[in-house]
Amino acid sequence: MNTKNTPENYLLKSAPIFLAFLCMGFGDVVGPMVGLAKNSFHLSNFTAQLLPLMGFIMFGLLSVPLGILQDRKGKKFLLVSGLILALAGLIIPILNGMYGPMVKFDPTSDSVFYILLFAILLLGAGATILQVSGNPIMRDVSPDGKFSSNLSLAQSVKAVGTSLGFLVPPLIAKPLGLDWTILFPIYSALILITLLWVIPTRIIEKKDTGYPPASIVDCIKLLGNGFIGIMVLSIFLYVGAEVSMSSGVPILLKEKYGMENFGLLVAWSLFFLPILAGRFTGALILRVIPPKRFLIVTTLLSLLGIFMMFLGSRELAFAGIILVGLGFANIFPLIFSITVDKFPERSNELSGLMVSAIVGGALIPPLMGLTADSTSVQFGFIVPLICVLVIIGASLFNIRKG
């Protein structure tokens, strides 16, 4: 059997992995779901932002142990496990009547809201496993020197999955008289297709050599490396800032600019469409520009965009949201690939550490919600602004350190 990494083999092996990244994006449904659930369950800004808490808390709890398990059981094993768990999280609300028609459940029922929280918890756990396994396994199916570029491309595919949470409710569900919960059966079908494709795919995983099996202590010790510690912190702040933006922009459009019926669609157009375009473009740019230099450019673009949102003008605010989307597009894959390329022999532990930092998506949005409740929805965006400032400082520090 030919197991050489020919271009044809790369294509055959990477295709189901790219589809797994599409499913990975389903975990980000908690972003647009904040505004949808806020309306359905009549929640405050703070309570609505607890939805990301339930989804992303699993990243903080599970990622490091999963990185250790992956070191022993393999990345494909973990990838399949993540798809199965995410599928279970999506089936639970379907079994409880949340699959499209609003009449199937009472949106004012506390029990329905708690079922939704539990489903998001399982979906978050599945997304955690997919992140821990999917990012490093992309290195196994990528040609030498193309990891950063392919990871940006994979993250753009993930953005397509995330975009479904913005596009399906206004474009498909609403015209058909359905509720936003139609997302659950759509996501379930796509994950099932991915699962049936990934299982028979043979992937040659690059093994770490010269190191004993990883342990939790080993992972914690890695944080003592200044470079790794700063990069993990940057992931924490970036994900918190992105979830704050994705959940806050639809609310801003509705409460400040009066866009209620098509606010979700406009929010996607202003924020996630630029992310999608930026990631596809970034995959090409990274073939000619070093990742560290591109990281500085993209974070500065994000900072400029958030500043523009505070200038008072609706047009400038919309332009600022677009710039933030373009700037945010490649921050995660750049930080991840730069770190793993620097320490490839510890890819499993690093994957666990950096994915654990995605818990920032659980902890930072509630801070934004509290800020918005005590001041205004617009001023709440000061929270992602501070996050981006710290990321810029961290990026400059690491570049100076070489």
Helix 75-95, helix 110-140: angle, nearest 10: 160
pLDDT of residue 264: 65
Q: pTM (2 decimals)?
A: 0.77
Q: Which parts of the chain have pLDDT scores under 50?
A: 1-4, 103-104
Query: Residue 248 and residue 111: Cα distance in Å, rounded?
Result: 26
Provide CB contacts within 8 A for 175, sequence distance 6+.
Answer: none
pLDDT of residue 261: 61
Do 334 and 291 contact (CB within 8 A), yes or no? yes
Nearest C-alpha neighbor of 148 from the set 280, 278, 338? 338
pLDDT of residue 53: 73
Burial of 116 (0-12, 13-18, 19+ CB in 10 A): buried
Six token digits for residue 364? 């930072």
pLDDT of residue 1: 38
Nearest C-alpha neighbor of 93 from the set 83, 104, 84? 104
Nearest C-alpha neighbor of 347 from the set 178, 133, 159? 133
Which ranges constitute the DSSP H helices of 96-200? 110-140, 147-168, 183-198
Do 377 and 251 contact (CB within 8 A), yes or no? yes
CA 97 to chain centre: 27
Q: What is the pLDDT of residues 353-370, one digit of tens each?
A: 898 888 888 789 889 989
pLDDT of residue 3: 45
109: helix, strand or coil: coil
CA 189 to chain centre: 20
Helix 75-95, helix 183-198: angle, nearest 10: 150
Number of helical (H) and strand (E) elements in the chain, helices listed first? 18, 0
| Continuous segment of H or E residues that includes residue 227 | helix 226-255
Q: DSSP letter at 201? A: -
Query: Residue 344 and residue 369: Cα distance in Å, rounded?
Result: 38
Do 14 and 150 contact (CB within 8 A), yes or no? yes
Do 333 and 154 contact (CB within 8 A), yes or no? yes
Query: Residue 57 and residue 60: Cα distance in Å, rounded?
Result: 5
Query: Residue 46 and residue 27: Cα distance in Å, rounded?
Result: 20
Query: Residue 259 and residue 273: Cα distance in Å, rounded?
Result: 18
Q: What is the pLDDT of residues 38-66, one digit of tens each?
A: 666 777 777 776 776 777 778 888 888 88
Query: Residue 122 and residue 17: Cα distance in Å, rounded?
Result: 21
Among all chains, which residue has been given the structure tokens 């821990």? 132
Query: Residue 361 and residue 243: Cα distance in Å, rounded?
Result: 6
**Domains of the chain: residue spans and CATH:** 7-204+212-401 (1.20.1250.20)
The C-alpha angle 267, 269, 270, rounded to 5 degrees, equals 65
